[in-house]
Amino acid sequence: MKVMRLIFVVTLVSITASVGTAEGSETLVKIQDYPGVGNVLFRVAAAKGYCEKHGLKCQLQMVPSGPLGGQALLAKSIDAAFVPPDVQINTALKGAVTKAIMSITQRNPFQLVIRNDLPTPNAGNGFPAFMSDLKGKKIGVPARGSAAEQLFKFLAAKAGLSPEDFTFVAVGSPNTSYGSLISKQVDASMTFEPSSSMCDVLKTCRTLYVAATATEPQEIFKTNGACANLVVTQETIDKPGLVSALIAAAKDAEAFVQDPANFDEVFKIVTGYFKLDLPMGDKIIEASLRFSMPAYRVAISRSALQQFADNMLTMKQIEAPFQTSSLLYADAP
């Protein structure tokens, strides 16, 4: 009897220890980040302990473009990609099963910036007038085939121009694209923050178009609400509680980021990941963060997501209508 009682006690202690270890452990999740202001929600979630609160260890990995993020996800070098819908649609058409579990930035991030010395007589007339000023020019894009290049081609088509009217040059993320612009390797750049903020603060270039706020063309304006989402594979979805923990951590981060009283701390967290080696670098990042802040929300607009597919069909990037509901995780916010 004493032996049986001892076995019971040892077994109970062992079970208790196992549960305690499981509860105290954290699941490592590798999440795509971008150079610049980057993946603000998960930078904040990691820094403020929201990942740990929900049983996660969030490890941010710099991958400088959407297509590269999609490739890294499918290669299993990251667990969650921060990509625009067109990247996810293209992977789906190639047979890959991925799901968007939340928004990372709701507003369209792309901006068209130009050299100060570039003649643009139609700049004051807005879209589509200014597109004729860029005909025959070299246009910088983060990577060939990227969402930025596709957006520029859509603008060109809506303005009655052809992609062949322009030369596209891969110039990388904002810090390298800025150098290409200032050194006149390109005439304009379809890029993302802090590019426009660099132009505004340093006065060395000009912003011609901001997709987040421009109301024309309407097809682009209507994509605001689902512009860059956190995408995972079915393997990640199948891990019990993992996706719900990611969403919960991001919601905690959203609440913190959207409180104006926390701006200085958010700024400190963001600049802990990225520094601009430029005059007034901190002022540029501050301006960029203030501009971008309204976009950092986790809810995905279903109509905005569908608009991406409709635009791709218009541009003949896809051959048939595509229903984007198939891209969504069932419990996505």
Condensed to tens digits (0 to 9), the pLDDT of residues 270-316 reads: 999 888 888 898 999 999 999 999 999 999 999 999 999 999 999 88
Per-residue DSSP letter, 143: S
- The string of pLDDT tens digits covering residues 206-258 is 999 999 999 999 999 999 999 999 999 999 999 999 999 999 999 999 999 99
Strand partners, 231: 81, 100
On the question of pLDDT at 7 being above 50, the answer is no
pLDDT of residue 20: 31
On the question of pLDDT at 9 being above 70, the answer is no
On the question of pLDDT at 2 being above 70, the answer is no
> What span, in angstroms and rounded, lies between the C-alpha atoms of 144 and 153?
12
For residue 44, CA distances in Å to 125, 170, 172, 205, 266 come to 39, 30, 25, 31, 7
Average pLDDT of 180-203? Answer: 94
Contacts of 158 (CB under 8 A, 6+ apart): 127, 128, 217, 219
On the question of pLDDT at 15 being above 80, the answer is no
| The dihedral sign for the CA sequence 53, 103, 64, 240 | positive
pLDDT of residue 11: 34
In the numeric block, the tokens 């891990």 are attached to 239
Helix (H) or strand (E) run with residue 210 in it: strand 205-210
- The mean predicted confidence, pLDDT, of the chain is 90
Q: How confident is the model at residue 67 (pLDDT cuts 50, 70, 90)?
A: confident
On the question of pLDDT at 106 being above 60, the answer is yes
On the question of pLDDT at 1 being above 60, the answer is no
What percent of the chain has pLDDT above 70? 93
> If you count them, how many residues does the chain have?
333
pLDDT of residue 172: 87
On the question of pLDDT at 140 being above 90, the answer is yes
Per-residue DSSP letter, 80: B
Q: Are 85 and 308 in contact (CB under 8 A)?
A: yes
Domains and CATH numbers, the chain: 25-107+224-327 (3.40.190.10), 110-221 (3.40.190.10)
Which is nearest to 101 in space by CA: 238, 270, 287?
A: 238
- The string of pLDDT tens digits covering residues 146-161 is 888 989 999 999 999 9
